[in-house]
Amino acid sequence: MERRSFLKNAGVGLAAGSVAMPAIAQNAPTIKWRLASSFPKSLDTIYGGAEVMAKRVAEATGGKFQIQVFAGGEIVPGPAVFDAVKDGTVEMGHTVSYYFFGKDPSYALETAVPFGMTNRQMDAWMRHGNGGKLMAELFGKSNILVVPCGNTTTQMGGWYRKEIKTVADLKGLKIRIGGFAGAVISKLGAVPQQIPGGDIYPALEKGTIDAAEWIGPYDDQKLGFNKVAKYYYYPGWWEGGPQVSAYVNTKKWAELPKEYQTILQLACADAHVDMVAKYDARNPTALKQLVGSGTQLKQFPKEVMDACYKAAMELYAETSASNPTFKKIYDDYKKFMDDQILWMRVAEGSYNNYMHSKR
C-alpha cells in the first residue's frame, strides 16, 4: 500500500510529527516514579545522566511515565541509595556500586576495581559476557535490578601536593580515596581517607590530607583542586572505566507494563552512551585550562604502578579466599578482561598509539 494512504487509513494525519499524537493513548497508565541520585547537581555529567534518561522516558511515553530525579541528600544521602531502592523508599536510584564496597566488595565489580575493565570492556562483559547475569543474581538478592546508565571512562589519578617518585613516597601519604583502591594502597603504607566531594578542597588546602582523587579534568576543575595541589597524576589505575548504573526496585519493575520496561532500558542505554560522549567532549578543554593554569601533569612511575598492581592482585586473592561470591564473579570478570586485552591491544591499541604520536 502507498505509504501516505496507509497512514490515512490508520487515522494518522500528515501533521503527525508536528502535533501531539495519541500514540500512547489516554488509557495508558500514568506512572510517577522518584529516582534518588547519589550525586550532587554540580556534577552535570554524572547527575545529569539520570535527567537525560528521565527526559527521554517521558518523551517516549507522551509524558505518561514520569521519573523525577532527586540529587544526593534530597531524599536520602548519596550512600543510602542502595537501601532506599532495596526497601522501596524510592522506585529507582542512580549510583555507582563501589560505594557499597563495605556491604560486600563484590558490588565493586559492577562499577570498577583497581586494574579492572575499561568502559568498552564492561559493556561487552555486561551485554555479551556473563556480567549481566552475575549482577542480576547479586543485586537480585536485595530486590535491585541494575541497568548500566553511564560511565566516566578512565579517571585521573588525582591531585598531589608532593611528587610521587617511588613506592616509598606512598608511605604515610594521607590520600582521599575510596573502597578497593584505599585497601590496595594501604598495603603500601598510604593512609586512605573518606571525605565527601565538598570537603576535599579545604582538607587539601589546610594540608589535612596530602592528596585527593576525584574524577577527571572537567569535574576536578570545578572543585578548584589545581589551586591547592600542584601535581595532577595519571592514570587512575583504580578506575579504568567506572560504570554508573540505574537501580530499580524489582517489585516496582514487575509492576511496569512491558513497554515501559523496554523504554526504561533503552533510555538508560542512550544515557549510557551520552555520558561518555559528554565527558570526552568536555575533558580536553578542562585539561588544557588546568595545564595553562600551572598544573603539572605527571604519569605514575612504572615502579609505583607495578607495586600497586601486585598489591591489588594479592588483595583479590585474599578477598576471593574469604568471599565465595566475590571469587565467583571476579574469576569470570578477570578471564573475560584478559581476553579483551588480548584483542584490544592489537588493532585498537596500536591504532590509538599511532594517532597519539601524531598529536
Binding residues: 155, 176, 213-214, 239
Cβ 210 vs Cβ 231: under 8 Å: no
Residue 354 near a second copy by CB under 8 A: yes
Q: How far is the CB of 273 from a second copy (least distance, A)?
A: 6
Q: Which of 149, 200, 276, 304 binds a second copy (CB under 8 A)?
A: 276
Q: Which of 256, 304, 311, 315 binds a second copy (CB under 8 A)?
A: 256
In the annotated binding site for Na(+), the residues are: 214
* Residue 334 near a second copy by CB under 8 A: no
Among 14, 206, 292, 294, binds a second copy (CB under 8 A): 14
The residue within the footprint of a second copy, chosen from 278, 295, 315, 316 (CB under 8 A), is 278
Shortest CB 102 distance to a second copy, Å: 26
Task: Number of residues interacting with a second copy: please give it, by CB under 8 A.
Answer: 110
Instruction: Indicate whether 294 belongs to the interface with a second copy (CB under 8 A).
Output: no
CB of 68 closer than 8 Å to CB of 233: no
Smallest gap from residue 326 Cβ to a second copy (A): 21
Please tell me whether residue 124 binds a second copy under the rule CB under 8 A: yes
The only residue of 140, 172, 303, 351 in contact with a second copy, by rule CB under 8 A: 351
Cβ proximity to a second copy: between 25 and 322 the closer is: 25
**Number of residues in the chain:** 359
Cβ closer to a second copy: 35 or 156? 156
16 scored as a contact of a second copy (CB under 8 A): yes
Stretch 295-314 residues interacting with a second copy (CB under 8 A):
297, 299, 305, 309
Query: Cell numbers 509492576 correspond to what residue?
Result: 255
Binding residues for substrate: 155, 176, 213, 239
144-173 binders of a second copy (CB under 8 A): 153-157
Under rule CB under 8 A, which residues in 54-93 are in contact with a second copy? 56, 59-62, 64, 88, 91
Decide the pairing of beta strands 158-160 and 211-212: antiparallel
| 23-31, 136-144, 184-192, 199-207 -> range binding a second copy (CB under 8 A) | 23-31
Select 104 or 270, whichever has its Cβ closest to a second copy. Answer: 270
| Among 284, 318, 321, 324, contact with a second copy (rule: CB under 8 A) | 284
Q: Where in 205-244 is the site for a second copy (CB under 8 A)?
A: 216-217, 234-237, 240
- Minimum Å distance from CB 194 to a second copy? 23
> Residues 185-204: x/- map of binding to a second copy (CB under 8 A)?
--------------------
Buried b (16+ CB within 10 A) or exposed e, 319-328: bbeeeebbbb
Distance, CA of 177 to CA of 191 (rounded, Å) = 9
Residue 12 lies near a second copy (rule: CB under 8 A): yes
- Tell me which residue has cell 565465595: 324
281, 293, 303, 331: residue in contact with a second copy (rule CB under 8 A): 281
